[in-house]
Amino acid sequence: MHGNTAGESPKSKSAQSHCRNDAPFPIAERPRRSGLRNRVSLGLALVAAASLAFAPSSLAKSVDGWLSWRGPLQSGVSLEKNLPDSLELDGENHLWSYPIKGGGAPVIADGRAYIFGYYEEDDGKLVEETLLCLDAKSGKKLWEYRSPDFLSDNVYNRYGIGSPCVDAETGNVYVMATSGLALAFDRDGNKLWEHSMLEEFWRLTFPNGRTGGPVVDGDFVIFRGITANWGPTGPPGDRFYGFEKQTGELAWFSSPDIKPVDSSNSSPTFGDIEGRRVFYSGTGAGSIVCANARTGEPVWRTSISQGGINASVLLYGDDKLIAIHGKENVGSTSKGSLICFKIPTEYPTGDKPVILGTKDEVWRNDGLVAFSSSPILRDGRIYTTVATGSLVCIDAGSGETLWELKLAPDQLHASPLFADGKLYVPMVDGKTHVIKPHDDHGEILSTAEMGATCLAAPSVYGGKVYIQTKEGLHCFGNKNGKFAGAKTTQTKVADKKIAALQIVPAEFALMRGQSVDFTVWGLNAVGQRVKKLDGATFDTGSFGASVKGGTMTISDNAPYAAGVVKASANGLVSVTRGRVVPGPTYSEDFESYELTGKNHLGEAVSFPPSPWLGARVKWSVVEREGEKVVTNVLDIVIKQRTTNFVGHHDLSDYTFSADVLTDGNRRIMSSIGLVNQRYLIALVGNWRILEVSSNHDRLKESVPFNVKPNTWYRLKTTVKDNGDGSGVVMAKAWIRGEAEPDAWTIEVPVDKLHPKGAPAIYALSPQAQKRVFLDNLEITPNH
């Protein structure tokens, strides 16, 4: 993982497809997690050091620019003038190129361009994604932060498919890595905070690599993803998480939709309903949803697709929303549709979200298939690229197709941009077109070959157009141009009457001996923050902890548990939720569990430990040959594979061991393993190997190991940090009851080590046929 780097000049155009930066980078500082405190001496040292890193930058200031990939109007439209008519790489308008692989649009603020991209090293065995900061005028590198992938399902080179965003108030930058790291930086590249969405909320990853990006509105930066967390949010759902943009504390989370069938990288679009700030977005369940952007409360939804919706929506006037998708339509076998809805202008008062349907459609244009390209809106005209490789112009009032222009054999991801009376249209075949739209046709002004696939929308800033390809970022236009945009203003708090409470953080995970600082906000009737409330009383429930001055401290012998904490103030009540999770010392043999339930096989069962993340429906405690053990639940095929975190996400330098067994026979067995510091170590039964991996398309090493069915093995794992950024992943396995071997069964050197990571258990039962079993889990610190 790399931090800030000194500036350097962009590489020449002739080398852009092959060059990368191999300069050494200092290790980045640990982020500050302001609401959590650890009483042990090491934790205090880390918090003290991180607090210094978090000191507000003297350079923090309000900025303007192309702050999110949809631009200041949220519609893919720029207000700038005097932009180039051609984008030839060897033409007069070409200013510079920088060799960075990626599939997302850059964002630009205060003369700095921020790009979410990636590098490949060691013949593709190592992929590091990067947040890269360039001087927007010259292309000179100012700094970058690299983050390696881990435990994701991403395949091929589907990295960097998303965009960062910039906060207009502070100039801080936010990005989501493919691995699920939610990251915040100041303008100079100092890390402010991070969250591992995978290890904290069980954010799922998908082979398509569509990561998307965060968005900022008011006090919050919103990240989204399919998560399978715990308790009411245990079932998979497409959820939105509103973090305090300054501190990274979770303020709210929202589950506005039904069961997802796919991922979605649709970016939220913001609006207002009767003074309440809301956002609109497509989801992985094939719906368009509306939710409160200050509290996460679901407002309304409508289902239009049988697959995930990746395109961002458009707001048209005060009461209309336009959405497009590329999957099968609901109630039909036809594919794709552009739909205009009349949306509520009054905020609903019921407990459940309003459901919109066909009665709320203003018009529909079926057959327009745009799976991941978003439409733009200008002067009553909608422009969108579709899967057939055409640019289509539609009348926003009637939905009538006005003209269509064939540009490429097909299209994927990249969205057009409107600026200076022209359309800038990158296509997946690597060509970018500049088109002048007319009432009845589109006039091609120029076509330029970019030299690589284009998956990103263009960006505009200061008289320049930026085009990102899978091999590099290219800048065209006027070197000394000025930015023209739309300033956003925050609505002032007029109503000072407190109508509800909001507790921050909205969710927490603590080890024994750690503390959390609660902040209780009083909200008015439209969800605006009125003031912080001192003197709130707390009921800590199953945690059995006291709260003094807003701080709850978990005792050194507290039970591992999950539950809620209630806060009361001003005659109002609100709740937060959390878990007490294992730290560097933990053991579990399941003998204390009472088997009071029944599973689909008729066996007596109990739920697994409540703090285990996403495990309640994936694992059960059962009795096997007189021992209570934990086994994976195989009632449906979709559960054939699972990874569930059992400890804290900030752990490092520990040993994780367990007794493991796979059911089966010599023809078919399952895989069972442990995750240690973001490395999966598994006994792969069908292949008779012991394997170490982090992403199966990247790091994957194995040694022969004759796994036998229905045989207990002891599996022991650890990760050695060499102190120079490298390390070794080590594991040994032997038949339970026999003497532990002196030598490690497998040792895998790693040049760039994951510095920390939560312990987890893993199972893969092909076609949900053969179960796995674990017992006697043990985590111990190495030092």
pLDDT tens string 462-497: 999 999 999 999 999 998 888 888 766 677 888 999
**pLDDT in the model for residue 17:** 31
pLDDT, tens digit, for every residue of 657-670?
999 999 999 899 99
> Tokens in use for 725?
């950024």
Mean pLDDT of the chain: 90
**Surface-to-core class of residue 534, CB atoms within 10 Å of its CB (0-12 exposed, 13-18 middle, 19+ buried):** exposed
State mean pLDDT over 135-159. 90
Of the pLDDT bands very low, low, confident and very high (cuts 50, 70, 90), residue 676 is very high
**pLDDT in the model for residue 19:** 34
User: What strand order describes the sheet that includes 401-406?
Assistant: 376-378, 381-385, 390-395, 401-406
Residues 6 or more apart whose Cβ sits within 8 Å of residue 350: none
**pLDDT in the model for residue 438:** 98
Q: Rounded CA gap, 640 and 763, in Å?
A: 8
**pLDDT in the model for residue 26:** 27
For residue 59, is pLDDT > 80?
no
**Surface-to-core class of residue 674, CB atoms within 10 Å of its CB (0-12 exposed, 13-18 middle, 19+ buried):** buried
For residue 54, is pLDDT > 90?
no
**pLDDT in the model for residue 60:** 62
**pLDDT in the model for residue 124:** 67
776: alpha, beta or left? (left if phi > 0; alpha if psi -120 to 50): left
For residue 30, is pLDDT > 50?
no
Helical (H) or strand (E) element with 141: strand 141-148
State mean pLDDT over 15-24. 31
| Per-state percent for the chain, helix, strand, coil, to nearest 5 | 5, 45, 50
For residue 51, is pLDDT > 80?
no
Contact between residue 607 and residue 598 where contact means Cβ atoms under 8 Å apart = no
Which of 7-16, 53-62, 114-123, 501-510 is the least confident region? 7-16
Q: Rounded CA gap, 372 and 267, in Å?
A: 11
**pLDDT in the model for residue 486:** 75
For residue 37, is pLDDT > 90?
no
Q: Rounded CA gap, 68 and 513, in Å?
A: 40
Calculate what percentage of the chain has a pLDDT beyond 90: 82
For residue 29, is pLDDT > 70?
no
**Surface-to-core class of residue 737, CB atoms within 10 Å of its CB (0-12 exposed, 13-18 middle, 19+ buried):** exposed
Q: Rounded CA gap, 254 and 233, in Å?
A: 10
The single residue listed with the structure tokens 């994936």 is 618
- By C-alpha distance, which of 3, 418, 425 is closest to 190? 3
**pLDDT in the model for residue 552:** 97
- By C-alpha distance, which of 183, 246, 193 is closest to 214? 183
For residue 45, is pLDDT > 50?
no
For residues 614 and 35, the model is more confident at 614
State mean pLDDT over 289-306. 97
Query: Is 0.85 topped by the overall pTM?
Result: yes
State mean pLDDT over 404-420. 96
pLDDT, tens digit, for every residue of 73-128?
999 999 999 999 999 999 999 999 999 999 999 999 999 999 999 998 777 677 89
For residue 53, is pLDDT > 80?
no
**Surface-to-core class of residue 733, CB atoms within 10 Å of its CB (0-12 exposed, 13-18 middle, 19+ buried):** buried
